[in-house]
Amino acid sequence: MYQLLLIIFIFYNAILPIFHEFNNKKDKDYLNKLSEVNLMDFSRRAIKFGVISTIIILIISRLIGISFYDLGLRWITFYTNRWLLVPTLVVGSIYIFAYILTIIFNLYHNETKNENKLNYEKMSGIAKKLLPTTQKEKFYWFLVSLVAGIGEEIRFRGFLMYLLITLFPTFSTLVTVLIQAVIFGVAHAYQGKKGIIKTGIWGFVFGILFVATGSLVPSMLLHFLVDIENVTIIKEGKA
């Protein structure tokens, strides 16, 4: 059963995204379609997909005997290897503090706000389209960040890593974390090559944080902060 679930998971989260992106690249109207992307529609689809897919994973987990505790939905239980625990906690804390500080500067520091506005004006294409500016867009992006921070951690760090550890007990912790990070990066193929690499690196960071603390809570928090930063970058209209 676990083997089948792993195959299905990889198919939907790695093979299909690559296939979809490959087909898009061959589509002559692809760039035109990207320029017409509506952030509100994108956000609604992302929220719907994130909620539904996470609920499905939770239901399947319960049906086959995987508890919420097994998925990492528990409080921090520190990893016994302090050589992994200490640097992970230090780096994780620095990241969390840095993103909180960045958000504060984006919201309240005038020089940072002016710099962000200048950078926004220089942006173009899909990157600019997917940056929330109005209050309504920011609210929906907040929901996207919340759903991704919770849902993707449950699906990739919780469910996927549980399957990998169960099916391949001889794999080292580093290899297991690396495999899920690669799949996590490829799942974001729509962001292009740079997006895959960037997301994959974050997946590795989230994975190590999960392994070191035994809980999804720290990675959920960091994941949410990484995504929610977009809400604070630019201040525009109230629509």
Longest distance between any two alpha carbons in the chain, whole Å: 56
Q: Is residue 215 part of a domain?
A: yes
Whether the predicted pLDDT of 50 surpasses 70: yes
Q: Is residue 239, in this structure, part of any structural domain at all? A: no
Q: What percent of the chain has pLDDT over 90?
A: 53
Model pTM score: 0.88
Q: Flag the least confident range among 39-43, 48-52, 54-58, 71-75.
A: 39-43
Model confidence at 203, in pLDDT bands (50, 70, 90)?
Answer: very high
Residue 21 covered by a domain: yes
**Rounded to whole angstroms, how far apart are CA atoms 124 and 122?**
7
Tell me if 46 is assigned to some domain.
yes
Residue 238: inside a domain, yes or no? Answer: no
**Res. 31 pLDDT band, cuts 50 70 90:** very low
DSSP classification of residue 124 = -
Total domains, the chain: 1
Residue 82 placed within a domain: yes
**Model confidence at 101: pLDDT above 60:** yes
Residue 186's domain comprises: 2-233
134 residue type, one letter: T
Residue 34 lies in a domain: yes
In a domain, 116, yes or no: yes
Residue of 28, 38, 66 lying closest to 154 (CA atoms): 66
